[in-house]
Amino acid sequence: MTHTIQDLFPIVQFAVADALGIDEAEVVAEASLVDDLGAESIDMLDILFRIQRESGIKVSVSDMEALMRGPEGADLFDDDEIVTEAGLARLEMALPQFDRTQLSGPLTAEQLVGLFTVQNLVDMVLDRARAEES
């Protein structure tokens, strides 16, 4: 089966809403999983499990990291866990909504998950589905 954003978005939307105990209407494409919807690290595991259960597509937290690092596996951080200039450039490619001019200071490793939106999650699931189909 060839998956599309149109058939995966409702699955992701349901998984996020169900895991976070929120209304599906709140789970819009541009919503940040952490800042807008209140997800915590442990919630991400629950969301990914629910997506797999509903779609049969296995996704993991490491897939999120791989998306941000890119195919070359770029190192995003310096020794102090601050995103480097090269890391910021990579994030701009991986996360279309990311705008480094909006940062008020250095971006830390801990803050990265806050950049991830529902649409990024859908795109990641779609990429994983296409990889499994190949």
User: Distance between CA atoms of 14 and 64, rounded to whole angstroms?
Assistant: 19
Residue 112: predicted pLDDT: 84
Divide the 134 residues of the chain into consecutive groups of 10 and give the mean pLDDT of each group. 89 97 97 94 93 93 81 80 90 90 89 90 92 82
Residue 66: predicted pLDDT: 81
Q: Are 68 and 28 in contact (CB under 8 A)?
A: no
Range of the domain at 47: 5-133
Number of folded domains in the chain? 1
Residue 37: predicted pLDDT: 97
pTM for this entry: 0.87
**The domain that contains 99 carries what CATH number?**
1.10.1200.10
- Cα–Cα distances (Å) from 112 to 32, 93, 98, 102, 107, in that order, read 11, 14, 10, 14, 7
User: Distance between CA atoms of 84 and 63, rounded to whole angstroms?
Assistant: 21
Phi and psi at residue 77, to the nearest 5°? -120, 155
